[in-house]
Structure 1
Amino acid sequence: MKFSVLTAIVSEDYEQKVIDGARELGAGGITLLSGRGIGSDAKKTFFGMTYEGSQSIIIMVLEKGLSLEILKSIQTLIVDKKNNDSHGVVFTLPLEHLGGIDLSQLAKFEQHLKENL
């Protein structure tokens, strides 16, 4: 079984939507981190200081096929095609070695593979 690390960096407004969507598709453990970002078009605020807002960094270890499904789902949530705007970024990285994953989660990943073959 191959694994990927899926990372989504979204505004805090989208955090719960991303988590709920990932859980519905079979994600187990999810790690949340807080961050701040500076986009290419920084917004000017009080006394000329720039502020882009708080962001959530959402990290999941997933079976490779499931990570692609969840990535596509998150992409539809964060990309506004109508206004050609994005409210975050989502990407996966291949995972070579893994230890400490919950065995019940492994069973869920195996079941997902069987259902989608």
Structure 2
Amino acid sequence: MKFSALVAIVPEDLEQDCIDAARELGAGGITVMTGRGISNTAKKTFFGLTYDGSQSVLLMVLEKGLSLEILKALQKVIMPDPADSQGLIFTVPLEHLGGIDMAQVEKFEQHLKDSI
């Protein structure tokens, strides 16, 4: 079985929607981190103070095929309009992995059997 790490950088207000979408498709554990990005566009200001919106970084270790399904579902959450993305999602293949819960591996195996 091959694994991927899925990383989603999303606005804080879409965090729960993304978590719900990933869980619905079979994601087990999700690590949630707080982030702050630097954009290539001008920042919003309010009376001379800049406002940086908070972002959430979601990290998941998934079976490779499931990671693509979840990526597509999360893309629908952060990009309801194809011309306006509110985040970034990508996967990275994992070569070596330790410490994953075997119950989660069994769920991944069941997902593979169900998709065939």
> TM-score with structure 1 length normalisation?
0.93
Equivalent residue, structure 1, for 2:107:
108
Deviates more, 1:9-18 or 1:40-49: 40-49
Alpha-carbon distance between aligned partners in 2 of 1:110 and 1:44, rounded to the nearest angstrom:
46
Gaps of 5+ in 1: none
Gaps of 5+ in 2: none
Equivalent residue, structure 2, for 1:92:
91
Equivalent residue, structure 2, for 1:68:
68
How many residues align structurally?
A: 116
Identity percentage of aligned residues: 67
Alpha-carbon distance between aligned partners in 2 of 1:8 and 1:68, rounded to the nearest angstrom:
12
C-alpha RMSD of matched pairs (Å): 1.3
8 Å CA contact 1:42, 1:51 repeated in 2 = no
Residue 46 (structure 1) shift: 3.8
Q: Deviations over 1:58-96 (max 9, x none)?
A: 0000000000000000001101326x1111010000000
